[in-house]
Amino acid sequence: MGKLAKFTISASCALTLAACAGDAGPAGEAGPKGDPGAKGADGSDGDDGRDGTQGAAGADGAQGPAGSDGASGPQGPAGPAGTPGPIVLLSVEAKQGFDISPVQINTSSIAPQDFEKVGRGSYLVNAIGDCNGCHGTPQQAGPPLFLGGGNPFGLPGGGVVYARNLSPDAATGLKLTEDEFVTALQTGADFKTGHSGEMLIVMPWFNYRFLDESDLRSIYAYLRVIPPIANPIPDDAKGAFGALGPIPLPAMFDEGDVVRDLPSGRDPGNVQRGLAISPLAHPAELPAWGAREVAMYGRGSYLVTMGSCNDCHTNPMRDLVPGPTFLKINTAAYLTGGAVFEAPPGIDRLTGYNRAASQNLLGAENGHLSSFEAFLAVATRGELMHENRMVAWPMPDVLGNLTIDDLEAIYFYLTRLPTPAGDKVIPGPVYRCDTTADCATGSTCFNYTGPYGPTGECQSSCTTDADCGVCQTCSAGTCAQPTDLAACVGAGI
């Protein structure tokens, strides 16, 4: 820009001179070089150039090696303390109930005020009631599913009923409300669909009808928090027994020798209720006992009722013929034994016998109760032995989880009861065998088909029937089965 301005000024001067002069003269000599002109002023800044176009993207670089783990950061601050759970105080029986439950209890669904109720329910179901003995679901391998039901029980005349599913399974389990459950155990009312208005058959509800209602509700509370078992139960076929209906709960105990009023109000340990529901007259010396002895006697009576001891150790246990004395307890033979049981598969090999009878507990001459230590050995450990074979099953399963105080109460009650009129001699068990080598010296193995299939029993030499086992008779010097074994087993001793 500076050079162009200087050139334009010089051309203008030349044009002006040419217009004034005449003919051109000869060229003059070049004049001396003029002084350089002053430096022109700096030109203004030029406009910015246009942006260049974006170059092509470079290729991706190769992945670098993995970096090493960084050092652990500092520990964060502790979180806020959780809200402490409620403090729940439990009775000895309720704590024992939680400890002995064979399945996990869903404690998250239990309100704090109901822990005692659930624990007591478990104690009644598992320590004294042995409910799983009938209501467990049989398995090909392993123990029965807890209270899943399904066991069949044959009835005279060819009918059959099935143990109910007592688990909380929504589709196949216990659907009764708490009030319906209590009513069923107090009256025998069957609430199963299609059997409304009928009586529960085989289920020993009559042993529970006089129990404290709070205990019945505790049992229900426990049944609602055990694991559900999906097991559909077949419909019952009661036959003629379907004509029997529920029996209203009476206002007083009327099933024994003495009719007694039932207590109302608070009854610690169910002592007063136990005194009321004992089927025999109280011992003459009871009024002179101290408070502790009376409490043990009453508590023992309550537990013996809840434990259905009468069902096995009294034969026949009750009057089961509908009529004026229907369901009355057979007090003349109360707890003197004689009910006969065939050992099912597995139990026969565990115990070593095929057949046995319940023991006489109260007979003056033939009763089998001795010391408390011996009672504990039988009731909790199955240590009663006969010819080196265990004959105390299933007592450990029934009573083994009771507290020591309750075991003492049962023993005290049984050893203070008046002696019943009946005093039976109970034959020994009949031992199972595969071959004669399994039997005692001088005995032989007799193979036959029993109610559970082919089996064998030992037959010894004899002089009288007293030398033989349960439902064996002395024939030609040998203990042999009677012609109608099933009739003997059904009738008992």
Give me the residue spans of the domains in the chain: 92-236
Percent of the chain, pLDDT > 70? 81
Query: What is the reported pLDDT for 23?
Result: 44
84 confidence band (pLDDT: 50, 70, 90): low
Q: Residues 6 or more apart from 96 whose CB is under 8 A from it?
A: 119, 123, 127, 401, 403
286 touches 297 (CB < 8 A): yes
Instruction: Find the range with the poorest average confidence among 91-95, 245-249, 346-350, 479-483.
Output: 346-350
29 or 330, which is more confident: 330
Q: Residues 466-485: what's their mean pLDDT?
A: 94
- Mapping DSSP to helix (H, G, I), strand (E, B) and coil, where does residue 12 land? helix
Q: Is the pLDDT of residue 233 over 90?
A: yes
Of 124-138, 320-334, 382-396, where does the model show the most confidence?
124-138
Burial annotation 240-252 (CB, 10 A radius, 16+ → b, else e):
ebbebebbeeeee
Tell me the per-residue pLDDT of 179-228, one tens digit each, with 9 for 90 and over: 999 999 999 999 999 999 999 999 999 999 999 999 999 999 999 999 99
Average pLDDT, the chain: 86
Q: What is the pTM of this model?
A: 0.80
Instruction: Find the range with the poorest average confidence among 198-202, 235-239, 348-352.
Output: 348-352
DSSP β-bridge partners for residue 145: 137
Q: Residues 44-52: what's their mean pLDDT?
A: 52
Both tokens assigned to 275: 């005194």
Preceding peptide of 316 cis, ω within 30°: yes
The three-point CA angle 286-289-292 to 5° equals 120
Rounded Cα gap, residues 344 and 20, in angstroms: 156
Q: Whose CA is closest to 202, among 161, 249, 150, 159? A: 161
